[in-house]
Amino acid sequence: MNGMRIVLAVFLCWGESAAMAMDPHPVHETVRADYRLYYDGMPVGEVTEVWERDGSNYRIHSEAHPYPVVRWFAPNFREDSVGQIVDGGLQPSRFVHERSDGQAPLVADFHWNTGELILQHDGKSDTVPLPPDAQDMLSIKYLYRVAGNGWLERDLPMVTGKHLEIHHFVVHDRLPIDTDAGRFEVRHVVDVSAQAPSRLEIWLATDLRDPPVRLRVTERGSRWEQRLLRMEIQ
């Protein structure tokens, strides 16, 4: 009898460990991260991003607040991505980018059942084929939370709101980074695609429960960067 109890206990512990290895994140979680926003190396404001997971549903909200002195070229903006968590990945259903300077919102609707992507921008609507594994500008930054390393070393379509870009991410190096939120061991993930007009770099903590530690987008000769200030995990 004692032997059976020991075998049962070992089996239960193994099952729990295996489940954690497949998905180390809770089914219900909220992660809030505040960042300092930089433009070409100059601090210009702050960004707040919130990742929420509720079972198989996710929502990402990002809101930027530039300092008043630079709002003439850096308006407030907010972005939202909502969708489903499927097979260790994210499947967006809608992405919205809004600005405070009067420009029309960018909206992308992902119709996975029909394989169509509907893009609303500049007062018009375009319908294009929806490629498998397509992400938006927010979901691609948080894909690691459910995909682990599965999103690396392969072409990944990304929807900007106006068009599709193809990105390809690899781990460039591993190093420690000091931030206002503390010291993190990170993987520096870089985009090596020659097809996309923009370049995205992400510094991800080795503890994948943490939010992105640093992000950088380079496009048309300009560089926007977010550096972690504070974080809260629930």
The residues spanned by each domain of the chain are 2-233
What tens digit of pLDDT does each residue of 142-158 get? 999 999 899 999 999 99
Query: Does pTM surpass 0.95?
Result: no
Are the beta carbons of 139 and 83 closer than 8 angstroms? yes
Q: In the predicted model, what is the mean pLDDT of residues 42-53?
A: 96
Q: In the predicted model, what is the mean pLDDT of residues 112-141?
A: 94
What tens digit of pLDDT does each residue of 61-116 get? 999 999 988 777 777 889 999 999 998 899 999 999 998 887 889 999 999 999 99
Report whether pLDDT(168) > 80.
yes
- Structure confidence at residue 101 (pLDDT): 80
Q: In the predicted model, what is the mean pLDDT of residues 49-72?
A: 92
CATH among 2.50.20, 3.30.450, 2.40.10, 3.40.1000 for 2-233: 2.50.20
